[in-house]
Structure 1
Amino acid sequence: MEFYQMTGFMGVETDTADDCSDIRMPDPADSALFLDFDGTLVEIADRPDGVVVPQNVVDLLDRAMDRLDGRVALVSGRSVATLEAFLPGFQGALIGTHGAEMRAMGGEHLDVVEIDHGTVSRLCRLADDFAALRPEFFVEHKPSGVVLHFRQAEQHSALAMRFMESLAMAADGFRLQPALMAYEIKPEGVGKDIALKRLLDTDAFRGRTPIYAGDDLTDEPALELVQSRGGVAIKMGHAETVAEHRLERPEQLAALLGGWLA
């Protein structure tokens, strides 16, 4: 068993996923849809820049925006700018970098939390220096922090954790966030659930039944929040989860949502 499985960062294998027909979806007219990106809408790639967005996903988001009167948001660890690059035509809300930044439905870009850009710059530089010595790791810069990916070096996951943990301990106001095949340093007080709660309290989303799908450990608080509000929480993949429903692959989610929106 790999280190990330022993520590619970990816969870453990569970029973089989739900059949799409077993998930009871609310009336689209009374719903709001929130989706993670990697591993949920699209397949995870070996490198973050290697993701391919299928045309059916673009079409699905367009249909959701139309049927739900714009009540669709992507909630991702990716930056808002990266999400915009992958989905240039998407007009819904974007919650980026785990809730540190946001693009509102009207297109306005907002920094949800104050970011110490000087510290972020130093963290990125140190991570880059580490990866220069260990090229099997891949560093991803974000507006609010830095990520060290070890998808190509699973046998060295403990080394990745120790390095990133030491950086986080030296950076006041930042903390270590385990993720799928990666470790991220991000500001304290940032979380997908915090950002989602803020969005659910806006006029456009207030009172609607929330639907959330996500695959990462960082999605768990948001999944729990959605269930506490009577919504539908869908875990993607086999990791342990608080969600009542589970699907294995993005194409299954696309099939579920496509039938729901038809």
Structure 2
Amino acid sequence: MADALPLRPPPPRLDDACALFLDVDGTLVAFADRPDAVHLLPEVRAAIGRISDRLHGALALVSGRPLAQLDALFAPLRLPAAGLHGHELRSDRNARAAMPADTSQWLHALHQRAAHLHQTWPGVLVEDKGASLALHWRAAPDAGAQILAFAQAQIGALPGYRLQLGDHVVEFVPEGSDKGLAVTALLQHPPFQGRRPVFVGDDLTDEFGFAAANRHGGWSVLVGARADSAATFALPDTHGVHAWLRDNAA
């Protein structure tokens, strides 16, 4: 008989000393076959804006998406954010993103080598994010093992990069970039400095954020059910996240 999943309680209400860090895909928006096909509900966007005001701006998006995509998805809100797993960083609503030196000169050749994947498995998506490259197989679930084998075979040719596994995706990301490091970096700057971090996310990439929030005296929220997680609380799905946000925005 399989072990039962650990029962994590639902998260409490945010207090005014918190700083809120939100993953996007699988947390605020449901997954789609293509990253550009997701939809953010207007009432969720409005709730996020009200919570940001309540926390005096200490609310950030922490995502594998580039900042430009986040700004387009959440417009007219312009929020502090960590894009590309922290490779891009914006610590307040108005500051321009600080981005480390780009080491992606090998990505163009990798993109060309990956082009055959879509031809072999229709539905596989090769997503060029500028400083990273993602291989999605949500629309071609039988291709997962082959995509992972391809990624493992290629990573050695990309100095300064590592593989990040996610939900039906594997990504070539710059070393030294993860969501936990992004949270730690944001906590060093206003309006996050001195606040108790709360991280909400669903995927393996969010485990870095959970660990960072816990380590800095805060707490973490897993969206979904996964036994092996550092999260201290849980919500069942994106609908549960939306309800929790609306409650905190009231």
CA contact (8 A) 2:179 2:208 kept: yes
Question: Matched residues in 1 for 2:116 and 2:98: separation?
Answer: 28
CA contact (8 A) 2:71 2:78 kept: no
Partner of 1:241: 229
CA contact (8 A) 1:97 1:143 kept: no
> Counterpart of 1:167 in structure 2: which amino acid?
Q
Q: Secondary structure at the match of 2:76?
A: coil
Identify the range of structure 1 (205-214 vs 98-107) with the bigger mean alpha-carbon deviation: 98-107
Identify the range of structure 1 (207-216 vs 250-259) with the bigger mean alpha-carbon deviation: 250-259
Pick closer, same or farther for the CA change 1:13–1:86 going to 2, 3 Å: farther
Shift of 1:13: 9.4
Q: Secondary structure at the match of 2:151?
A: helix
Pairing partner for 2:5 from 15, 18, 21: 15
Shift of 1:161: 0.3
Partner of 2:243: 255
CA contact (8 A) 2:59 2:79 kept: yes
Partner of 1:78: 65
Q: Secondary structure at the match of 1:109?
A: coil
Deviations 1:104-147 (A, max 9, x none): 31433334322123212222222224323432311111121111
Pick closer, same or farther for the CA change 1:34–1:177 going to 2, 3 Å: same
Pick closer, same or farther for the CA change 1:242–1:18 going to 2, 3 Å: closer
CA contact (8 A) 1:223 1:242 kept: yes
CA contact (8 A) 2:48 2:245 kept: no
Q: Secondary structure at the match of 1:238?
A: coil
Shift of 1:19: 6.0
Shift of 1:203: 2.7
Equivalent positions of 1:98-113 (< 5 A) are: 98-113=85-100
CA contact (8 A) 1:73 1:94 kept: yes
Partner of 1:198: 185
Unaligned runs of 5+ in 2: none
> Counterpart of 1:209 in structure 2: which amino acid?
R
Question: Matched residues in 2 for 1:129 and 1:108: separation?
Answer: 40
Question: Matched residues in 2 for 1:140 and 1:13: separation?
Answer: 37
Equivalent positions of 1:140-179 (< 5 A) are: 140-179=127-166
Question: Matched residues in 1 for 2:25 and 2:193: separation?
Answer: 26
> Counterpart of 1:135 in structure 2: which amino acid?
P
CA contact (8 A) 1:17 1:247 kept: no
Shift of 1:25: 3.2
- Aligned residues: percent identity? 33
CA contact (8 A) 2:121 2:140 kept: no
CA contact (8 A) 2:21 2:199 kept: yes
CA contact (8 A) 2:200 2:222 kept: yes
Pick closer, same or farther for the CA change 1:78–1:13 going to 2, 3 Å: farther
Q: Secondary structure at the match of 1:117?
A: coil
CA contact (8 A) 2:56 2:191 kept: no
Pick closer, same or farther for the CA change 1:13–1:146 going to 2, 3 Å: farther
1:39 equivalent to 2:29? Answer: no
Partner of 1:222: 209
Question: Matched residues in 2 for 1:93 and 1:119: separation?
Answer: 29
Number of aligned residue pairs: give it.
Answer: 248
